[in-house]
C-alpha cells in the first residue's frame, strides 16, 4: 500500500507540473492550450540538446549538471511559450472560442511534427540519467531519482503558489482573471501579464520534460500528447483555473492511476484515468476546488 501511494505521488508530481500551465492560461484568458503538452516534449528535447553539447560527464557531476540544464531549459521553453502566445493566440484573442481551440490544436501538431522534422522520428536516449541506491521507508522502496525529481517538483509548485498569492505579479494575474477590461483601465499591462503567464506555465512544462527524460531515459516527438491529456484531466479534477486545485488534481490522478493499475492491470491505466475525467465532467464539472462562474459578455 505504501509503495502504491509513493508511485502515485511520484507520477502525479509530473502531471501537476504540466497541468499548472493549463490552469494558469485558462484562468486568465479562458483558453484550453492543447499545445501545452508539446511544450513538455520541447523541454525534453531542449535538455537533450544541451546535454549532448556538453558531452559526457562523471556520475558525481550528473545531478549538478542536470539542475543547471533544467534551469536553462525552463528559460528557453518559457520563451517558446511566449512566442506561441504572441504568434498564434494574441491575434485571435477576441475571436470566437472555437477559433482559438482550433488554433491550439494546430499549434500542437506544428510543434510535434516540427520536432519530428528536426530530430527525426526515432526515440532518443537521454545523455544523463540519475543513478543511485534505493532506500526503504515504511515498506516503500524510494530511489534517489524519484526523491530528487519529486523534491524539484515540490519546490517549483510552492514557488508558483507564492508567486500567485504573495507578489504584485500574482495580484495582476488574479485581477485579469476576474476582469481583464477593468484591469486594463486600472493600469495593468494585460498583454505583458499574459505573456509572463505563458512563460511561467511553459517553463514548468519544460522542467517536467527534462525530469521525465532523465528518469525514463527515452524521449520522442509524440511524448507530449498523452501527458498533455493527462495534465488536462488533472486540471479538470482539481478545478481548472484554480492553482492549488490543479496541484491536488495532479497528485490525485497519479494516485488513482497507481491503485487502478494495481487492481485492474497496466493495460487499463489510461482507460481508468480518462474514465475519472468523464465522471468528474458529469458529476462535478467545476472540479474539487473550482467555483462555478458566469460568462462575461
Task: Dump pLDDT digits (tens) for 80-119.
Answer: 999 999 998 888 888 888 888 899 999 999 999 999 998 8
297 part of a folded domain: no
Give every CB contact of residue 152 below 8 A, 6+ residues apart in sequence.
67, 70, 207, 211
Cα gap 188→192, rounded to integer Å: 9
Phi-psi bin for 167: left (phi > 0), alpha (psi -120 to 50), beta? beta
Diameter over CA atoms, the chain: 59
**Are 242 and 287 a contacting pair, CB within 8 Å?**
yes
What is the DSSP secondary structure assignment for residue 89, as one 8-state letter? I
Going by pLDDT thresholds of 50, 70 and 90, the confidence category of residue 297 is very low
For residue 249, give the CATH number of its domain: 1.10.3470
288 part of a folded domain: no
Going by pLDDT thresholds of 50, 70 and 90, the confidence category of residue 78 is very high
**Are 243 and 22 a contacting pair, CB within 8 Å?**
no
264 part of a folded domain: yes
The average pLDDT across 165-172 equals 88
Count how many domains the chain has: 1
pLDDT at residue 199 tops 50: yes
**Are 145 and 130 a contacting pair, CB within 8 Å?**
yes
58 part of a folded domain: yes
Cα gap 226→37, rounded to integer Å: 8
Is the CA virtual torsion 125, 126, 131, 135 positive or negative?
negative
290 part of a folded domain: no
Q: Mean pLDDT for the chain?
A: 83
**What pairs with residue 135 in β-bridges?**
142
Cell numbers describing residue 212: 521525465
296 part of a folded domain: no
Going by pLDDT thresholds of 50, 70 and 90, the confidence category of residue 132 is low
Q: Could you report the per-residue pLDDT of 220-236, keeping only the tens digit for each? A: 898 888 888 888 888 88
Give every CB contact of residue 156 below 8 A, 6+ residues apart in sequence.
17, 204, 207
pLDDT at residue 30 tops 70: yes
Domain coverage including residue 70: 2-283
254 part of a folded domain: yes
Q: Which of 149-158, 181-190, 264-273 is the least confident region?
A: 264-273
Question: Which residue is it, cell 491550439?
Answer: 104
Question: Which residue is it, cell 549538478?
Answer: 64
Using DSSP, state whether 137 is helix, strand or coil: strand
Q: Could you report the per-residue pLDDT of 282-294, keeping only the tens digit for each? A: 888 777 876 655 5
84 part of a folded domain: yes
Using DSSP, state whether 219 is helix, strand or coil: strand
- pLDDT score of 45: 92
Amino acid at each position: 500500500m505504501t509503495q502504491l501511494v509513493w508511485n502515485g505521488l511520484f507520477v502525479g508530481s509530473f502531471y501537476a507540473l504540466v497541468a499548472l500551465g493549463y490552469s494558469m492560461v485558462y484562468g486568465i484568458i479562458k483558453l484550453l492550450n492543447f499545445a501545452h503538452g508539446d511544450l513538455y516534449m520541447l523541454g525534453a528535447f531542449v535538455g537533450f540538446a544541451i546535454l549532448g553539447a556538453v558531452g559526457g560527464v562523471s556520475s558525481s557531476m550528473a545531478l549538478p549538471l542536470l539542475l543547471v540544464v533544467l534551469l536553462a531549459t525552463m528559460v528557453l521553453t518559457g520563451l517558446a511559450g511566449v512566442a506561441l502566445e504572441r504568434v498564434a493566440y494574441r491575434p485571435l484573442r477576441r475571436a470566437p472560442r472555437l477559433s482559438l481551440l482550433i488554433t491550439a490544436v494546430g499549434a500542437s501538431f506544428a510543434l510535434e511534427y516540427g520536432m519530428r522534422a528536426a530530430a527525426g522520428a526515432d526515440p532518443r536516449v537521454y545523455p544523463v540519467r540519475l543513478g543511485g541506491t534505493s532506500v526503504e521507508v515504511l515498506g516503500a522502496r524510494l530511489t534517489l531519482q524519484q526523491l530528487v525529481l519529486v523534491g524539484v517538483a515540490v519546490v517549483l509548485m510552492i514557488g508558483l503558489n507564492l508567486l500567485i498569492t504573495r507578489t504584485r505579479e500574482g495580484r495582476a494575474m488574479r485581477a485579469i482573471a476576474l476582469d481583464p477590461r477593468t484591469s486594463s483601465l486600472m493600469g495593468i499591462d494585460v498583454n505583458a501579464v499574459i505573456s509572463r503567464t505563458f512563460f511561467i506555465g511553459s517553463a514548468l512544462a519544460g522542467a517536467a520534460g527534462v525530469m521525465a527524460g532523465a528518469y525514463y531515459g527515452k524521449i520522442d516527438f509524440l511524448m507530449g500528447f498523452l501527458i498533455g491529456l493527462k495534465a488536462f484531466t488533472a486540471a479538470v479534477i482539481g478545478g481548472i483555473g484554480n492553482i492549488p486545485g490543479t496541484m491536488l488534481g495532479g497528485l490525485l490522478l497519479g494516485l488513482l492511476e497507481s491503485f487502478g493499475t494495481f487492481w485492474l492491470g497496466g493495460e487499463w491505466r489510461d482507460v481508468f484515468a480518462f474514465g475519472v475525467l468523464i465522471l468528474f465532467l458529469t458529476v462535478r464539472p467545476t472540479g474539487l476546488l473550482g467555483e462555478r462562474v458566469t460568462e462575461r459578455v
